[in-house]
A and B are shown apart, each in its own frame.
Chain A
Amino acid sequence: MAYLLSRLRGVGALAFLPVLIVGVVLPSPVMGQDKPRYGGELIFPVPSEPPSYDGHREETFGLIHPIAPFYNTLLRVDPRDPSGTKPIGDLAESWTVARDGLTYTFKLHKGVKFHDGSEMTSKDVKASYDKIIFPPPGVGSSRKGQYEVVEALEAPDPSTVRFHLKWPTASFLASLASPWNFIYKADILVKDIHWYETHVMGTGPFTFVEHVKGSHLVGKKNPTYWDKGKPYLDGFRAIFISSSSAQVAAIRGERAHIQFRGFGPADRNSLKASLGDKITVQESPWDCILLGAINHNKKPFDDKRVRRALTLALDRYEGSKALSKIAIVKEVAGVQVPGTPYATPPEELAKLAGYGKDINAARDEARYLLKEAGAEKLSFTFKNRGIPMPYEPLAIWMIDQWRRVGLNVKQEVIEAAAYYSVLRKGDFEVAMDFQCGYIVEPDLDIYKFISTDKNPANYGAYTDRVLDDLYVKQSRATDYEERKKYIRQFEKRVLDAEAHYLMTLQWHRIIPHSSKVKGWQITPSHYLNNQLDAVWLSE
């Protein structure tokens, strides 16, 4: 009855075949070295602190970095995959997908125990996902909207979980590999559904020791971890350090091994210069990007010629060369992170407005469009968020680029905490916007651009039903080539034909870490690979 698409861990659904190919093509410099060594405590600074311990509710990496090691999820992203897009089983040993794509059945590992000694069963998985997808009144679930496709889930026996979908979708396995979807104990959730906001108790490779607020959080090895032989570390210590100079000093002074979010190029260079071979640097395109939100409610930005001129004026290739030396940006990208399955290849990307290699021709076109729209020598205010890196250098670069086509742009910097209020109220002409994903997946990455009435986090304030339709089509296309086709159409419409939004440069993630740290692979997401089960210290 069920059509077997995958059997054991490491085998994804057919829709993810290209993912596997990418996984082979991209080099994996860190995994698969030497024989893991047991022992040691991994110390890492975390730039922000978890407001609560509930992954289903929170949105900050400040939760994922110190808390993920205490939990398992149903699926996870392969920690050896540098593209960070390949789902593999975590608590799920294998899974099958029905031929119509509407039923996903997962078989769970047996013998998995919670840290309190009780056995983990499908009842716990169901209760956790019920809390995420169908939260009862008074319970916050930040990513509930990502699971609209789920009609129901059931636990027919202790080692089986079944999801019933309303329509087939290509992204379902990826969304189950979300690092936020910790599996909690059903009995606890029944007694107090808020318990996990203030307590930590999972099935993960480490058990909770202590959290001193504002200072540090400690975990120690789970001696009865179900994945035999793991973890390698005796424990870990997350130190909360908000100042980036203090984080760099901690690595430089060998008081910490690694910081999982990322440092700037200058910090990488200074660490490498002072510590030499003691430092290993891993780099990757980062699934975060600053965007130019163009307010369609403000004239003349309701005119697509003006919007197109704004993107045509940007010399992204030269910008990349200059800015990557001083800021955490680098790759020229469309709506997908370069090097991932649905990313547009460079030669195709170059056909979009603002991505051509001939900047003079692009700027001539920009000037022509502005003249035609009656917006020659247009003056406007560009609102920017008061965060130095990389908002400040990128804004200065954009303003300079616009000046070259005759635009006169003034920057207004808004305090970081007040910024989203300005965007939400539409109190801007053009503003810096931001998007960051926990996994590279078109459903998550391009949702930002659908009409504002469907996604209020689209601050461009436009309605584009063609775009909305393309979003739905790509999301429901289970064939890789078909989905790719819709994503390309979507990209062309949002960045070129309508120029609704403009992309700056993809962020670039730089992790300079102690060379003692082994078994950790950088990915485009700073939310991934924090379970620490495969990480070990060479001395």
Chain B
Amino acid sequence: MGKYILKRFLLMIPTLLGVAVLVFVLLRVVPGDVVELRFMSGEGQFADPQMLAMERAKVGLDKPMWKQFLDWMWGIVRLDLGVSMWTGAPITEEIKLRFALSLQLAIMATVVATLLAIPLGILAALKQDTWVDYTVRVFSIAGLAMPSFWLGILMILGFLVIFKWLPPMVYTPLWVNPWQNLAQLIWPALAVGYRYSAVATRMTRSAMLEVLREDYIRTARAKGLWTKLILTRHALKNAMLPVLTVIALEFAFLLGGLVVTEQVFNLNGLGMLFVQAISHRDYTLTQSLVLLVAFVFIFVNFLMDLLYGRLDPRIRYR
């Protein structure tokens, strides 16, 4: 097991390196740079070329590309992500500020999705082709069809028109004021969690249907086991493998992918930071964010692989 974990960790290095090369090159292929955007748009017609050259040197854009890449890699080896080209602040500080919110929202949305998806998926599978199944399917297809940001806009308009109320605009950490925190985050968690649950509900339903047709379930029924016991001990445990994969990958996506929903609810999260970094051509920050999200995806996949072994005794690690 220990050998397997070490092997998987070592395999992460070439994957992350590939991501790093790709993002580094792609960012520099696109025209425009941070200095141009900062000092030449708007009323920036008086910015003189000397100043622009000086600002470029300040953020390291005067160096050859290979040197910029090596500097970045050397920083990562020393666990130093460098500073944002736009704000000059350390990147770890920029990310830390937003990470708590994004993580909390991802957890809340996952809880909402799981609480909805698993019972509904099981119910739909058990009551296949009945009105219960149809209702659950309509509910989940609606969730897939509606973008979460659109649902968010509807929620906000609903609050404004009906209750003359709007969720707080500024993030308050849970430990500072739980009520204020939940008043802000519960709505995006519901909007995102609903869409997220739609995917998981459909996956739970189809996985359950497949497992319920297996020979060992028939055998269990023939032995006269309680239905509850058959479902929890035999069916659900096996049906959960693909469902957990979907939930885990969605969780990783939520950490950096809620760009529009964060804008609708004005959440100061990683998604918004991502958009700002790209639109400012903040290479260092964008590179670090891409690497972070890639790491989260790889790590979550790795955890899922470990979990598979616990859930399915047939799986062995080598």
Residues in chain A within 8 A of chain B (CB atoms):
45, 49, 51-52, 58-60, 137-138, 140-146, 197-198, 212-216, 239-243, 245-246, 249-250, 252-256, 274, 415-422, 424, 434-438, 444, 447-448, 455-457, 527
Complex Cα–Cα for A424 and B89 (A): 29
List CB contacts (< 8 Å) of B140-154 with chain A.
153
Complex Cα–Cα for A448 and B44 (A): 10
Could you list 26 A-B pairs, sorted by A, with CB under 8 Å? A59-B47, A140-B55, A142-B47, A144-B48, A145-B47, A215-B170, A215-B268, A239-B266, A240-B268, A241-B266, A243-B266, A249-B166, A250-B266, A252-B160, A253-B165, A418-B30, A420-B37, A420-B41, A421-B33, A421-B36, A435-B45, A436-B43, A447-B46, A456-B49, A457-B40, A457-B45
List 5 tightest A-B contacts by C-beta distance, closest first.
A253-B166, A457-B45, A421-B31, A145-B46, A214-B268
List CB contacts (< 8 Å) of B40-82 with chain A.
40-49, 51, 54-55, 58
Complex Cα–Cα for A90 and B16 (A): 55
Which of chain B's residues have a CB closer than 8 A to the CB of A252? 160, 166
Q: B97 to chain A: closest CB distance in Å?
A: 6
Cβ of B39 < 8 Å from any Cβ of A?
yes
Tell me if A447 and B45 are in contact (CB < 8 A). yes
Which of chain B's residues have a CB closer than 8 A to the CB of A242? 263, 272, 276
Complex Cα–Cα for A138 and B54 (A): 7
Tell me if B39 and A142 are in contact (CB < 8 A). yes
| Binary A-proximity of B260-287 (CB < 8 A = 1, otherwise 0) | 0001111010001100101111000000
Q: B171 to chain A: closest CB distance in Å?
A: 6
Q: B287 to chain A: closest CB distance in Å?
A: 16
A61, closest chain B residue (CB): B42
Tell me if A59 and B36 are in contact (CB < 8 A). no
Tell me if B32 and A142 are in contact (CB < 8 A). no
Q: B199 to chain A: closest CB distance in Å?
A: 26
Tell me if B31 and A250 are in contact (CB < 8 A). no
Tell me if B54 and A214 are in contact (CB < 8 A). no
Complex Cα–Cα for A274 and B32 (A): 42
Q: A62 to chain B: closest CB distance in Å?
A: 11
Complex Cα–Cα for A59 and B32 (A): 17
A180, closest chain B residue (CB): B43
Tell me if B94 and A213 are in contact (CB < 8 A). yes
- Partner among B37, B39, B44, B265 whose Cβ is within 8 Å of the Cβ of A417: B37
Complex Cα–Cα for A197 and B89 (A): 11
- Partner among B31, B38, B168 whose Cβ is within 8 Å of the Cβ of A422: B31
Cβ of B88 < 8 Å from any Cβ of A?
yes
Beyond the given pairs A59-B39, A216-B170, 8 more chain A to chain B contacts, judged by CB atoms under 8 angstroms and listed by A's residue number, are A51-B88, A140-B39, A142-B51, A213-B89, A243-B264, A417-B279, A422-B31, A457-B44
Which of chain A's residues have a CB closer than 8 A to the CB of B168? 255
Tell me if B98 and A214 are in contact (CB < 8 A). yes
Q: A172 to chain B: closest CB distance in Å?
A: 15
Which of chain A's residues have a CB closer than 8 A to the CB of B32? 417-421
Complex Cα–Cα for A64 and B263 (A): 23
Which of chain B's residues have a CB closer than 8 A to the CB of A250? 166, 169, 266
Tell me if A215 and B171 are in contact (CB < 8 A). yes
Tell me if A420 and B40 are in contact (CB < 8 A). yes
- Partner among A137, A241, A438 whose Cβ is within 8 Å of the Cβ of B169: A241
Complex Cα–Cα for A469 and B263 (A): 49
Q: A109 to chain B: closest CB distance in Å?
A: 29
Which of chain B's residues have a CB closer than 8 A to the CB of A138? 54, 58
Number of interface residues of B (CB under 8 A): 53
Tell me if B36 and A213 are in contact (CB < 8 A). no
B30, closest chain A residue (CB): A418
Which of chain A's residues have a CB closer than 8 A to the CB of B98? 214
Known: A142-B47, A146-B46, A253-B165. A245 touches B264 (CB 8 A): yes
Which of chain B's residues have a CB closer than 8 A to the CB of A455? 45
Which of chain B's residues have a CB closer than 8 A to the CB of A435? 43, 45
- Partner among A58, A60, A246 whose Cβ is within 8 Å of the Cβ of B266: A246
Which of chain B's residues have a CB closer than 8 A to the CB of A51? 38, 86-88
Tell me if B280 and A143 are in contact (CB < 8 A). no
Which of chain A's residues have a CB closer than 8 A to the CB of B170? 212, 215-216, 239
Which of chain A's residues have a CB closer than 8 A to the CB of B276? 49, 214, 242
Tell me if B265 and A246 are in contact (CB < 8 A). yes
Complex Cα–Cα for A212 and B281 (A): 22
B263, closest chain A residue (CB): A243
Tell me if B55 and A212 are in contact (CB < 8 A). no
List CB contacts (< 8 Å) of B78-111 with chain A.
86-89, 94, 97-98
Q: A240 to chain B: closest CB distance in Å?
A: 8
Which of chain A's residues have a CB closer than 8 A to the CB of B37? 417, 420
Cβ of B316 < 8 Å from any Cβ of A?
no
Q: A439 to chain B: closest CB distance in Å?
A: 10
Which of chain A's residues have a CB closer than 8 A to the CB of B42? 59-60, 434, 436
Cβ of B3 < 8 Å from any Cβ of A?
no
Q: A38 to chain B: closest CB distance in Å?
A: 25
Which of chain A's residues have a CB closer than 8 A to the CB of B87? 51-52, 213
Which of chain A's residues have a CB closer than 8 A to the CB of B263? 242-243, 246
- Partner among B51, B86, B164, B268 whose Cβ is within 8 Å of the Cβ of A140: B51
Which of chain A's residues have a CB closer than 8 A to the CB of B36? 420-421, 424
Q: A180 to chain B: closest CB distance in Å?
A: 10
Tell me if B273 and A140 are in contact (CB < 8 A). no
Which of chain A's residues have a CB closer than 8 A to the CB of B45? 435, 447-448, 455, 457
Q: A108 to chain B: closest CB distance in Å?
A: 27
B94, closest chain A residue (CB): A213
| Binary A-proximity of B147-181 (CB < 8 A = 1, otherwise 0) | 00000010010011100111011110000000000
Tell me if A253 and B160 are in contact (CB < 8 A). yes
A247, closest chain B residue (CB): B266
Tell me if B88 and A197 are in contact (CB < 8 A). yes
Complex Cα–Cα for A457 and B87 (A): 25
Tell me if B169 and A417 are in contact (CB < 8 A). no
Complex Cα–Cα for A249 and B153 (A): 10
Q: A428 to chain B: closest CB distance in Å?
A: 13
Complex Cα–Cα for A438 and B44 (A): 11
Tell me if B30 and A256 are in contact (CB < 8 A). no
Complex Cα–Cα for A267 and B159 (A): 18
Q: A289 to chain B: closest CB distance in Å?
A: 12
Known: A214-B272, A250-B169, A416-B279. A52 touches B88 (CB 8 A): yes
B84, closest chain A residue (CB): A51
Tell me if A245 and B280 are in contact (CB < 8 A). no
Please indicate which of the listed interface residues B30, B40, B264 has the most CB atoms of chain A within 10 Å of its own CB: B40
B273, closest chain A residue (CB): A214
Complex Cα–Cα for A417 and B279 (A): 6
Which of chain B's residues have a CB closer than 8 A to the CB of A437? 43
Complex Cα–Cα for A256 and B36 (A): 32
Please indicate which of the listed interface residues A214, A216, A527 has the most CB atoms of chain B within 10 Å of its own CB: A214
Q: B253 to chain A: closest CB distance in Å?
A: 21
